Amino acid sequence: MNGYIVEREKKTEITRTTEVLVAGGGIAGIAAAIAAARNGKKVVLLEREYALGGMATLGLVTIYLPLCDGEGRQLVFGIGEELLKLSIAHGAEANHPHAWLDGDSLEERIKNRYMTQFNPHLFALRAEALLLELGVTVLYGTLACAVTTEGGAITSVVVENKSGRSAIAVESVIDCTGDADICHLAGARTALHDGGNGLASWYYYFSGGKVSLKMFGLADVVPGRATEREAGGEQNGFEAVKVESLDKNVRFSGVDGEELSRAVIAGHGKMLEDIMSHRRADEAFVPVTISTIPLVRMSRRLVGTYTLDETESRKFMPDSIGMTGDWRKRGPAYELPFRALYGTEVKNLLAAGRDISVTDAMWDITRVIPPCAVTGEAAGMAAAIGSDFARLDVAELQKRLTAQGVKLHLD
Ligand SMILES: Cc1cc2nc3c(=O)[nH]c(=O)nc-3n(C[C@H](O)[C@H](O)[C@H](O)COP(=O)(O)OP(=O)(O)OC[C@H]3O[C@@H](n4cnc5c(N)ncnc54)[C@H](O)[C@@H]3O)c2cc1C
């Protein structure tokens, strides 16, 4: 602690008014903005970086994990599936999901889970074009850094960008920051993940006449790939990966500015060493692109009205807003309750993606791309219906989600 300063009180200009403000343009934010805009709302999406997709594109986490339960049943529909198709609109980098898109047999669908690998740059550009087509205002280089509240609701979100500090007046807010920044700023209850995060620093490289992805450090590798490969499944389209720990002693929370910089710098150092060791063996080896946002798995989340746990597979949720499987194993299937998206403290605030209310064990399941899209879509649709989320007409939300292709319950 180096003492403190008192900033001069100043008037912050309200430069915009919007019906729905989506904070964060990762997968959850993209899905939320699509759903709210398609359902008639004026939407502003804030993104701190200068491209959409968050971890999935700028972090180079380019594997769209399974939309199915591993036993041949599709669980993720709606925007979760639409975004998978968009991500490979110009071809899959690996593992085009033929078994699912070209109507193959159940046997093939069991053998090959509904997942793919996409090009991060094309996906980010296509997502941006889609949001613009839908009339979403995308503000890049814009950090949500404060909120004003009145009567238990957010009235404006204060942002900082090249123009300085300004405010956006809102009817409702969807927190898709991945770290529950808005929940934290607005005084909603939040929790940190107990285990923190390990180092990861993914990059693409060119060698042997082709560009490949190096999942450097922690990676979410679907188990059983080798077995699937032996069985003739199409999963062999993925690069063979050896997941290595970059430094077992480094753990970081994901919500401390200085610690995040140290983690990223440590990852860069290891990456440089790795690249140099490859160049010694192959002088044509060059990095093509490196992850440009911190690779954070679980950091801060909302403590919502319901906190979903890993043990609740196949449990009926009356307020389900969609489903997900478990990318790590075959069999589990979860109905995601709307109550995990809102808390009791702030009426007009929803969480989506990595920010939703789940236990530490469940977090590892809901933090990946497909469930982030499912909760983003539900949040966007809910914000199109009302702004007092604890009192929202859930039957109407479910009716609209179903009409737009989402499947809410297991058979
Ligand atoms: C090492 C690693 C490997 C992974 N592997 C896979 C994988 O193979 N497949 C898979 O499906 N998932 C994987 N994941 C998880 C997955 O990629 C992400 O958890 C998921 O994409 C998160 O989406 P999100 O939209 O919730 O959050 P994010 O992608 O984190 O998006 C949040 C966005 O909000 C922006 N933002 C943050 N704070 C603010 C603010 N205050 N104001 C404005 N903007 C803000 C950020 O810039 C970012 O764009 C992996 C994660 C890690 C760390």
Q: 28-72, pLDDT tens digit by residue?
A: 999 999 999 999 999 999 999 999 999 999 999 999 999 999 999
Could you report the per-residue pLDDT of 95-149, keeping only the tens digit for each? 999 999 998 899 999 999 999 999 999 999 999 999 999 999 999 999 999 999 9
Q: How far is CA 361 from CA 298, 307, 355, 357, 409, in A?
A: 11, 11, 14, 12, 22
- Alpha helix (H) residue ranges in 247-320: 257-281
Mean pLDDT of the chain: 94
- In percent, the amount of the chain with pLDDT more than 70 equals 94
- Distance, CA 155 to ligand 1 centroid (Å)? 26
Could you report the per-residue pLDDT of 249-305, keeping only the tens digit for each? 888 999 999 999 999 999 999 999 999 999 999 999 999 999 999 999 999 999 999
- Distance, CA 55 to ligand 1 centroid (Å)? 4
CB proximity list for 300: less than 8 A, separation 6 or greater: 179, 180, 181, 183, 184, 190, 191, 192, 193, 253, 254, 255, 355
- Which pLDDT belongs to residue 232? 37
Ligand 1 pocket test target in 173, 190, 220, 271 with most atoms within 8 Å of CB? 220
The residue assigned the tokens 């609209």 is 400
Task: Work out which ligand 1 atom sits closest to the CA atom of 367.
Answer: 19
- Which pLDDT belongs to residue 243? 60
Q: For residue 108, count CB atoms less than 10 angstroms from its CB and return exposed for 0-12, middle for 13-18, buried for 19 or more.
A: middle
Task: Work out which ligand 1 atom sits closest to the CA atom of 352.
Answer: 26
Tokens, residue 347: 């009426």
Ligand 1 atom 39: residue of nearest CA: 177
- Which pLDDT belongs to residue 228? 42
- Which pLDDT belongs to residue 221? 75
pLDDT beyond 50 at 331: yes
pLDDT beyond 90 at 248: no
For the chain, domains (ranges, CATH) are 14-195+298-403 (3.50.50.60), 203-290 (no CATH)
Residues belonging to the chain? 411
CA angle 203, 204, 207 (to 5 degrees): 135
**For the chain, how far is it from start to end, CA to CA, in angstroms?**
57
Could you report the per-residue pLDDT of 361-379, keeping only the tens digit for each? 999 999 999 999 999 999 9
- Distance, CA 242 to ligand 1 centroid (Å)? 22
Phi, psi of 204 (to 5 degrees): -100, 145
Q: How far is CA 331 from CA 3, 236, 316, in A?
A: 54, 22, 16
pLDDT beyond 60 at 238: no
- Which pLDDT belongs to residue 217? 87
- C-alpha closest to that of 85 among 115, 58, 108, 112: 115
Higher pLDDT, 10 or 187: 187
Span 175-192, average pLDDT: 98
